[in-house]
Structure 1
Amino acid sequence: MAEQTEIRTSPRAAAPPPPPAKPDSAVVRDALGVGVAVGLSGFAFGVTSAGAGLGLLQTCALSLLVFTGASQFALVGALAAGGNPFTAAAGAFFLGARNAFYGLRLSAVLGYRARIRPLAAHWIIDETSAVALAQPDRRTARLGFTVTGLTLYTLWNLTTLIGALGAGALGDTDAWGLDAAAPAVFVALLAPMLKDGVERAAAGLAVVLVLVTLPLLPTGVPVLVSALAAPAVLLVQGRRERAAGSGAVRAAAAPSARPEGTAELRDATGEDRA
Structure 2
Amino acid sequence: MTGVPASAAGGPSPAGATGKVSAVGTTGKANPTGASKAGAARPAGADQGAEGDARPVRGGKIAAAAVNQASVWNIANLLTMLRLLLVPAFVMLMLADGGYDPAWRSFAWAAFAIAMITDLFDGHLARAYDLVTDFGKIADPIADKAIMGAALICLSALGDLPWWVTGVILGRELGITLLRFIVIRYGVIPASRGGKLKTLTQGVAVGMYILALTGWLATLRWWVMAAAVVLTVVTGLDYVRQAIVLRRQGIAERRAALEETEA
Task: Name the structure with the higher helix share.
Answer: 1
TM-score by length of 1: 0.29
Higher relative contact order (CA 8 A, sep 6+): 1
Greater Rg by CA: 2
